[in-house]
Structure 1
């Protein structure tokens, strides 16, 4: 099966999600958050760096649970768009 390349918007959304999660972790040890979420530290590191642009829903839910964040906040970060007035 061939995977369809991600669009620039999907890549940008993954980067926004990564920044949101990294900021939410705010000083908490990456390894301990990953362990609490049941994922590898490398997976969390890649998500935070935007190298995994489309993490699974279950992974995002687990990270949000470990960080005590509402999943809706992560979804908003992922879905946010740059203000159109700034793009001109």
Structure 2
């Protein structure tokens, strides 16, 4: 199965997600937070750096729980202020 390339808006959203998670992690180590979420530190590193801009739903919910974040607030913050001009309508 061929994966559809990400749009610029999707890449921006992924970068924002990574920055928000990195900020929420604060002084805690990447290893500590990843272990608490049941993930590898490398997975968290990829998300935080934007190299994995579309992580799975359950990965995000595990990270949100480990960091004490609301998934609704996290989702809203990921798109807040992003350039709507680069958003492309989804096609079926």
Shared fold, TM over 0.5: yes
Q: Structure 1 length as normaliser, TM-score?
A: 0.89
Provide the C-alpha distance between the structure 2 equivalents of 1:79 and 1:35, rounded to a whole number of angstroms.
27
Post-superposition shift, 1:83? 6.8
Kept after mapping to 1: 8 A contact 2:14/2:54: yes
Residues 28-87 of structure 1 deviation map (CA, whole Å, 9 limit, x = unaligned): 111010001001000001101111110011000000110111111210122223477xxx
Query: Contact conserved, 1:33 with 1:66, CA < 8 A, in 2?
Result: yes
Which structure shows the higher helix fraction?
1
* 1:45 is the counterpart of 2:45: yes
The TM-score with structure 2 as length reference comes to 0.86
Residue ranges of structure 1 left out of the alignment (5+ in a row): none
1:14 equivalenced with 2:14 (yes/no): yes
Ranges in structure 2 where 5+ consecutive residues have no aligned partner: 85-92
| Aligned-CA RMSD value | 1.3
Give the 5 Å matches for 1:1-88: 1-82=1-82
Distance in 1, matches of 2:51 and 2:3, equals: 16
CA distance in 2, matches of 1:69, 1:82: 20
